[in-house]
Amino acid sequence: MARLRSFFAFWYDFVVGDDWRVAVAVVLALGTTYALSRTSAPAWWAIPVAVAVFLPYSLWRATRQER
C-alpha cells in the first residue's frame, strides 16, 4: 500500500507541481484543442495561446513578494 501511495504522490507532484492553477489551465488547453480538432476549425493555435497567457501568469505568481 505504501508503494501505491508513493506512486500516486509522485504523479500528483509531477502533474500539479507547485501551482494547481497552471495544471488546470493545461487540462483546459488540451480539452479546447481536442474540442476544436473535432470541428472544421483549426486547432493548432489553442496550446500556444494558453502558453502565452499562463506562462507570464505563472512567473508573476512565482516571483511576487509576499507582504
Q: Does 35 reside within a domain?
A: yes
pLDDT at 65 over 80: no
> Looking at the domain assignment, is residue 11 inside a domain?
no
* Tally of domains in the chain: 1
pLDDT of 35-62, one tens digit each?
A: 999 999 999 999 999 999 999 988 888 8
In a domain, 57, yes or no: yes
Distance CA 54, CA 49 (A): 9
Query: For the whole model, what pTM was predicted?
Result: 0.73
Residue 8 in any domain: the answer is: no
The boundaries of the domain holding residue 41 are: 17-63
DSSP 17-52: TT-HHHHHHHHHHHHHHHHHHTSSS--TTHHHHHHH
1 within some domain: no
In a domain, 9, yes or no: no
